[in-house]
Amino acid sequence: MKKGVYSILKARFLVNEDASKNWQFIVFVIILAILMIANTHTFEQKVFRIAELTGEVKELRSEFVDKRSELMKLKMESTVSEKMKKRQIVPSQTPPKKIKVKKPIEKSFFQKIWQ
């Protein structure tokens, strides 16, 4: 037991005859660890980007709601009439009348002949 722990601490498994197998495994583990770290890093970047875009969407949505409510206030008749008073344009006192245009009925060829 003592000899096994002592040989591990001295790293004799890396310098004896069949050490090439051990080195290949160690290099494989290191490459695998680097790939896992890179994968985690790209995943975290995507998570941060999603969080950033979510915040931006919330901000734009609230701005949209504010602008829509402001537009509704500007479209109200009282607001429009108040702004038009400055230009001396006032709403009409008489209500508008609907104009109906009747399309003349076209007579067919036979109706024109028999008249």
How much of the chain exceeds pLDDT 90, in percent? Answer: 41
Q: Whole-structure pTM over 0.75, yes or no?
A: no
77-85 and 19-75 helices cross at what angle (nearest 10)? 60
Question: How high is the mean pLDDT of the chain?
Answer: 87
Rounded to whole angstroms, the Cα distance separating 84 from 33 reads 72
Q: Write the pLDDT tens digit of every residue in 56-93.
A: 999 999 999 999 999 999 899 888 888 888 888 888 88
